Structure 1
Amino acid sequence: MAELIRIYEENPNPREIAKVVEVLRDGGLVIYPTDTVYGLGCDITNSKALQKIARIKGIKLEKAHFSFICADLSNLSDYVRQIDTPTFKILKKALPGPYTFILPGNNNLPKDFKKKKTVGIRVPNNNIAVDIVKKLGNPIVSTSIHDEDELLEYTTDPELIYEKWDNLVDVVVDGGYGDNVASTIIDLSEGEFTVVREGKGSVDF
């Protein structure tokens, strides 16, 4: 049964953040708020946890398009091949913000992602998500949680999320109502600027 932990975005309580991080380090799954929709995440280095998320999503891990949630752009070079100045300028202007950028992956990707040529990077403008990643010390892998409701693609109420996911995850972070518009996905992996999905972030750069 999942634990529901209330954390305030304006001033996240370090003790509560530490609790969430402990669960991630132990291979647990966490649902947490971002600057767009609520995400389902785990520690990027934990194979068992990654397999669990893939199972929940009903996909094979090697076929999954998960995002890497980073605290800032400083650890980008850990997972991404060297990027040119125009690309970096776009990232610097857009992040933190409601964007997922697809970039060319490098050889340092965790073993479960070794075969991937590209990686989706997110730096959300949300103190809870960023504090979790900072305290953990490496990115978390994340995927949006969808709603079965045909009108609402994403569940925004953390209490409803908790009811639905109670038996599937270890922690649901209640960070207040989420958004129901996902991030804008932009592919920069080939050096071109290609909008894959228009979401919350403006594509007017």
Structure 2
Amino acid sequence: MMKNEIEKALEVIRNGGVILYPTDTVWGLGCDATNEEAVEKIKKIKGRSDNQSFIILVDNDHRIAGYVQDVPELAYDLIEYTENPLTIIFSGAKNLAKNVINKDGSVGIRVVKHPFCETLIQRFRKAITSTSANISGQPTPATFQEISPEILEAVDYVVNVDQNITTPKKSSTIMKLSPNGEFHFIRK
């Protein structure tokens, strides 16, 4: 079943589509993080303004250097030792669609720890976007059942994995990490 779902999701994102998928945090809207048109589709679905950036998911910490000019060593320790999902905002984003990158040139990256996501990204060989599956300004759905019909109808594919999990999930911790190793929390 999971293999089948990965194949279907891969086909959609390779063709510039948007998937609704489970992550190690809340359900996300995802697409190829290097495809500007696909990212625009997500912005339209969410009703999101142009000044809001996205986070991207990678399957392991070795991929971060492909999207960030200078990865502080501390980032690898934080990723290795954190127990909860952690999104790190890095300066100097590169090799991504320009509408994924924040105005200040930064990008939020999370090394995802979820079997479906890890395998999908591994097979895709590129980062995918992740943004909560809600219309901007509305509450973030903690379970699949809380996702609005507008979102379900607007995406190109709804991944049929973990839909029956009713334990509420929460968003990741977000930390901004400067190239010099200084950091501060944006969301705990």
Same fold (TM over 0.5): yes
Q: Is the 8 A contact 2:14 2:32 kept in 1?
A: yes
Alignment of 1:59-138 (within 5 A): 59-61=48-50, 63-94=51-82, 97-113=84-100, 116-138=104-126
Distance 2:74 2:112 in 1: 21
Q: State how far apart, in whole Å, the 2-side matches of 1:106 and 1:52 are.
A: 21
Looking at structure 1, the residues matched to 97 and 136 of structure 2 have their Cα atoms a distance apart, in angstroms, of 32
- Letter of the 2:96 partner, please give it: L
One-letter amino acid matched to 2:85: P
Identify the residue that residue 13 of structure 2 maps to in structure 1.
Answer: 24
Rounded to whole Å, the distance in 2 between the matches of 1:104 and 1:129 is 24
Kindly, what percent of the aligned residue pairs are identical?
33
TM-score (normalised: structure 1): 0.77
Number of aligned residues: 183
Q: Contact 2:55–2:100 at 8 Å: present in 1 too?
A: no
Shift in alpha-carbon separation, 1:173–1:79, aligned structure 2, 3 A: same
Report if aligned partners of 1:158, 1:173 keep a CA contact under 8 Å in 2.
no
1:168 is aligned to 154
1:164 CA displacement: 4.0
TM-align CA RMSD: 2.6
Q: Could you tell me the TM-score, scaled by structure 2's length?
A: 0.83
